[in-house]
Amino acid sequence: MNSRSSAHTIARNAMPDLGAHGRLGRMGSASTRSLRYATSPLLASKTPPWRSRFVVLLVGLGFAVLLGRAAYVQIIATQFFQIQGEKRFVHTQTLPASRGRILDRNGLVLATSVALATVKVDTRAFSPDAAQRRTIARALGMTEAELLERVDGGGTVTLRRHVEEPAWREIKALTDADDKLKPKERRLSGLHEEREYRRRYPEGEAAAHVVGYTDSDDIGRAGVELLLQHQLEGHKGQRSVVRDRLGRVVEDVGDVALPRHGSDITLSIDSKIQFDAWKRARDAVIAHNAKAASVVVLDSATGEVLAMANYPGADPNKRGRHAATLLQNRAASDASEPGSTMKPFVIARALDSRRYSPSTPIDTAPGRMVITGTTITDAHPHGTLTVSEVLQKSSNVGTAKLALAMERQELWETYAALGLGQKPRIEFPHVATGKLRPWKTWRPTDHARVSFGYSASASVLQMARAYTVFARDGDIAPLTLIKRQATEGAGGVTGNSGPAGAAAASGGVPGQPVFSASSARQVREMLRLAASPGGTAPDLQRLTLGYSVAGKTGTAKKLVGAEYADGKYRAWFVGLAPVSAPRIVVAVMVDEPRNGKYYAGDVAAPVFSQVVQNTLRSLNVPPDVDVKTQISAKPVPAETESL
């Protein structure tokens, strides 16, 4: 082979065989398409066993954890998760209980409860625009700044309690889904109401001192509301509800505990008599520029309190706008020296001793007497007076002489039997005990002064009760502010021949004897004279049309600190009517009249007269005094005679 052929051969061998390359390419492509991963040399390598077992173990552990968690949630801690779930969509709603009503003796409402809306807001869903904020703030009586401050704290917030119905309807309209006039996006969410009861007092200030009032939580704070809290209060119920995002109740869940409402209470108070007594007390305070006035009216047969009024006072419907002291019943809670209204008790005890009679003369000249350095004087010197005239003229000297003729213990026991110095047994809070010092501590001056109403004190209610001894022929009536049943007291009166039996037989209740019937009747006639010309209230009978009256004035200097203040007095009048068959006892006290007149005959007696007339007419008691018709005729002009 030559060198050229040899070079050609080498060159050919050096050049790639394109045909062969093409064939190799096609063969490689076919091999790739026919390759299987299971026969891959890579996968053919052995995997360590622990790796697969580890993966299986992890999967098993995961299932075990999930199973354990499911068991924990569904079996072990199911109560916890139910509670947590309910907190997010189930709410406990309180069902308010209505407080019992307070009624007068005729069934008229003195206090009742009205369900009002308490507006609450869920701040998470509450997003009002400017106009809605203004509407809500105006309806709730607050500024927009106050509204924003309330909702700034988060959670569920109470915006206002006891919202009146018109205001709540205005707010509710903002969330009303049926209101087609508002775009849906402007309807408020998060607002809802809860119903709570608020007390209403139809008689307002006139009966406030008896009925009392409740606080914002409907708990009694004064008067009958406080005294009979347990009978009046109701017991709230509750239910579990599901609310939607707008705060509306969707459905009830679980059992419903219904509320139990309070019991109604019927008082002995007559609302008409109560209002009239309050009005007369108010008029007296205004007319005489007085500090205060109190009036008590008792049914002498039953001991029922028909009225217990004070002025000034406050309207219990406007809580928070007045001082609590204005609703304190001063007729029952305040005690002061009653002055000459105590004298009839001394006279009655003197008559009971058989040492005196109504005509026994008592020397009161020269109108004063000195006892251990203390001078006792009469307003006017009278000379010699009979026992009857001592009471009619209200002689301090004559009464003191009668008292000094008795043992101190005898006079003290008389006052104690009348309930002085003791807390009255009546269904009312904070009643005054009054002051009656033990008789062993009495000095001669005290012995004399206590006979005409000094060195001792009593409330208006205590004095009214004490005077029932003269209306009931010697026995004192048991007091009550709760209406007595018609049959009460009737069961134990058969065979009673004394004053208690007479009172019960006439429709009343038996009381505690204090004086003999004859002495009580004699003093009653003396009290009639005191309310007639010649007595200390000479115009009283003339002013009281249709009914005979009997009573006693008392003008007592006012004790300020340890001294009696000059020019400061309390004017008292306590009496009964009609004298022929007493039905009521009325006590009046006007504190510190400052308009020129301060004697009880001018200040307190006219109030007594007005209250007696209106009360007896209201009770349908027939007049026992002829009323002379007085007609004032004026000449009729000739041109009007034919009209």
Q: What is the 3-state secondary structure (H, E, C) of 18-79?
A: HHHHHHHHHHHHHHHHCCCHHHCCCCCCCCCHHHHHHHHHHHHHHHHHHHHHHHHHHHHCHH
φ, ψ at 134 (rounded to 5°) = -65, -40
Indicate the residue type of 631.
Answer: I
| H or E segment to which residue 376 belongs | strand 374-377
Say how far apart CA 262 and CA 264 lie, in whole Å: 7
Query: Among residues 93, 248, 252, which one has the least CA distance to residue 176?
Result: 248
Structure tokens belonging to residue 643: 């009209």
| H or E segment to which residue 256 belongs | strand 249-257
Cα→Cα distances 143→147, 164, 248, 271, Å: 6, 18, 26, 40
Q: How many CB atoms lie within 10 A of CB 636?
A: 9
Structure tokens belonging to residue 311: 């002025």
Contact call for residues 390 and 364 (beta carbons, < 8 A) = yes
Structure tokens belonging to residue 67: 């199973």
Structure tokens belonging to residue 98: 């209505």
Buried/exposed 22-38: b ≥16 CB within 10 Å, e otherwise: eeeeeeeeeeeeeeeee
Q: Which of 98, 113, 271, 340 is catalytic?
A: 340
Q: Is 240 a catalytic residue?
A: no
- Reported in sequence order, the residue ranges of 429-582 that DSSP labels E, i.e. its strands, are 475-476, 512-513, 550-560, 563-577
Q: How many CB atoms lie within 10 A of CB 65?
A: 10
Query: Among residues 191, 60, 46, which one has the least CA distance to residue 132?
Result: 191
Return all residues near 573 (Cβ < 8 A) that are at least 6 apart.
341, 537, 551, 552, 553, 554, 587, 588, 600, 601, 604, 605, 607, 608
φ, ψ at 512 (rounded to 5°) = -100, 120
Return all residues near 623 (Cβ < 8 A) that are at least 6 apart.
546, 547, 578
Say how far apart CA 403 and CA 400 lie, in whole Å: 5
Cross-strand partners of 385: 362
Cross-strand partners of 586: 297, 575
Cα dihedral 167, 121, 216, 90, rounded to 10, equals 120
Return all residues near 642 (Cβ < 8 A) that are at least 6 apart.
none
Say how far apart CA 446 and CA 371 lie, in whole Å: 10
| H or E segment to which residue 585 belongs | strand 584-591
Catalytically active residues, by annotation: 340
